A and B are shown apart, each in its own frame.
Chain A
């Protein structure tokens, strides 16, 4: 049900080429002052809840890998189009974002490398099939053999090498596209907390 909010009109100040609008602050009722000795720590509580959930992370990661492999299998069969490329990109991008939370950071790094290929290769049909296949295989292996290869540092090394090969490829095929070269070379600036 929609909230029954009586909307107070915002204050609007008009300038030569813009307006500054101060909407009513409808959220301030949710702020309260607490005394220092209040023990309740919502962040710690949430971290504990996340830890309680972590028993499911490996299963979730496997299902993400299955989704990635299924999206890739469709491309092997039908080739790239907007839909199949979108499915593969979203599957890889989800692993990129979720893998570290689930305890598989190296899989996330390999997935990021795959995302970069899908985003910056000028012609996906011209990408060597092995380059994509190796990324899919590596992500699956890192998840499947997590206990053995992650501990030995192999997973990290594997994802780094894949990234190096992918970056070399992207630098060559984008040599006439300076905007993409700049994006490929740019570091991430939004650091997760």
Chain B
């Protein structure tokens, strides 16, 4: 059985609604988090992202100045000086399929529909910490691998051209988050 030491994680919460920020702060502190930074719009969040280098971003979709989708796109810049790989959990009142697809295509790691629950938030955080996905970079996309499952039952065209992999860089292969022993 595994648990997360929330006091070792730094969070950036981005929501224009002060009540939802209060709820998120309460939940994260209850989980054990100590470092929770808050932004009330996308522009401030981006600035705080660069400054505080959070481990996990929790962002609303609907926000003034620029929204959570644009924030995700700005974080997911492969050539940026900052960290383009931080997990982004989108917490939103949107729950339509097309919205989920849009969020996924913007590089969002996990999607959590409101109303929020402690369990839902905990599971999303557990997912991004314990099961990080590799990133895919194509001409049109940069973000977490959108294929969560490899299913033999898939019927449809293969959209990725394979071939033998050429390893461009070979740093130490970091272990997956699963802790054994």
Contact = CB atoms under 8 A, between A and B. Distances in A.
Interface of A: 1-3, 5, 7-36, 38, 40, 42-43, 45-50, 53, 60, 63-64, 86, 89-90, 93-94, 96-102, 108, 112, 115, 183, 186, 188-193
Interface in B31-82: 31-32, 50-53, 55-56, 62-64
Contacts of A33: 1-3, 179, 181
Interface residues of B, number: 85
A47 B161 CA distance: 47
Interface string B154-179: 00000011110111111111111111
Contacts of A9: 169, 171
Contact of B64 (A15, A17, A86): A86
Contact of A27 (B97, B100, B132): B132
B96 A183 contact: yes
B122 A43 contact: yes
A81 B174 CA distance: 51
A92 to B, nearest CB: 9
25 contacts: A10-B135, A16-B162, A17-B138, A17-B160, A17-B161, A19-B136, A20-B134, A20-B136, A22-B135, A23-B135, A28-B177, A30-B9, A32-B4, A46-B118, A46-B121, A63-B19, A93-B93, A94-B62, A102-B19, A186-B98, A191-B113, A192-B95, A192-B115, A193-B117, A193-B123
Residue with the highest number of chain A CB atoms closer than 10 Å, among B52, B114, B117, B132: B114
A188 B96 contact: yes
A25 B118 contact: no
A104 B85 CA distance: 37
A164 to B, nearest CB: 19
A8 B171 contact: yes
B136 A32 contact: no
Nearest to B163: A16
Given A20-B136, A31-B130, A100-B115, A3 B53 contact: yes
A47 B122 CA distance: 11
A27 B20 contact: no
A189 B95 contact: yes
